[in-house]
Amino acid sequence: MHELSIAMSIVDMAQEEAERRDVTIDAVYLELGALSGVVAEALSFSYEMACSGTPLEGSRLVIKQVPIEAYCSCCKVTRTVSSIQWFCCPECGTPTPEIIHGKELAITALEVHDERRTAPAGSA
């Protein structure tokens, strides 16, 4: 269960960006690859806890799940693998060790507004 420490990193990074741009965050958009080793449900749950007492309290985490895409050396194209347990081309069955997408764990956008929210009492 490392999702809480990852959620805390997300909150820190987003808040740093918000301060730099002098805005308040309503939502954080995240790309989460199926091979990232992070579980979306656990991350959403942890995000609420990580936001508590920070200027991001009440903000949303919008997770876009990224499927695993691998390069098929036979078809010479990138294809979505059919299962995390079966790394092969869904068309021709060739094993696909070369992963193109699916390891993402990245903030891609912030939904913000310009009014600065007052930090909750007691927060640093």
Partner 1 sequence: MSAGPRLLEVRKNVLKQNDLMARALRERFRAQCTFVVSLVSSPGAGKTAFLEKMLTMLQPHYRAAALVGDLATENDAIRLARSRAPVKQITTGTLCHLEAAMVERALDGWQTGQLDFLFIENVGNLVCPSSYDLGENLRLVLLSVTEGEDKPLKYPTIFNSADVAVISKADLAGAVEFDGDLLKANLEAVRPGMRYFSVSAKTGAGMDECLEFLTERMAEFAQRTPA
Cα 79 to Cα 70: distance, rounded to the nearest angstrom: 6
Q: Which residues, 82 to 121, sit near partner 1 by CB under 8 A?
A: 84-88, 95-97, 99, 105-115
Of residues 108 and 123, the one with the C-beta less far from partner 1: 108
Asked if residue 1 binds partner 1 (CB under 8 A), the reply is yes
**SS3 state at 97:** coil
Q: In this complex, which beta carbon is closest to partner 1, that of residue 37 or of residue 58?
A: 37
Helices (H) and strands (E) in the chain, counts: 2, 6
Q: Is residue 64 at the binding interface for partner 1, with CB under 8 A as the rule?
A: no
Does the protein bind partner 1 through residue 37 (CB under 8 A)?
yes
Angle in degrees, CA 50, 51, 54, rounded to 5: 120
| 41 part of the interface to partner 1, by CB under 8 A | no
Q: Of the candidates 10, 50, 51, 72, which one interacts with partner 1 according to CB under 8 A?
A: 10
Is the sign of the CA dihedral 51, 56, 58, 60 positive or negative?
negative
Measured distance CA(60)–CA(87) in Å, rounded: 33
Q: Which residue ranges make up the site for partner 1 (CB under 8 A)? A: 1-2, 5-6, 9-10, 13, 17, 21, 23, 26, 29-30, 35-38, 84-88, 95-97, 99, 105-115
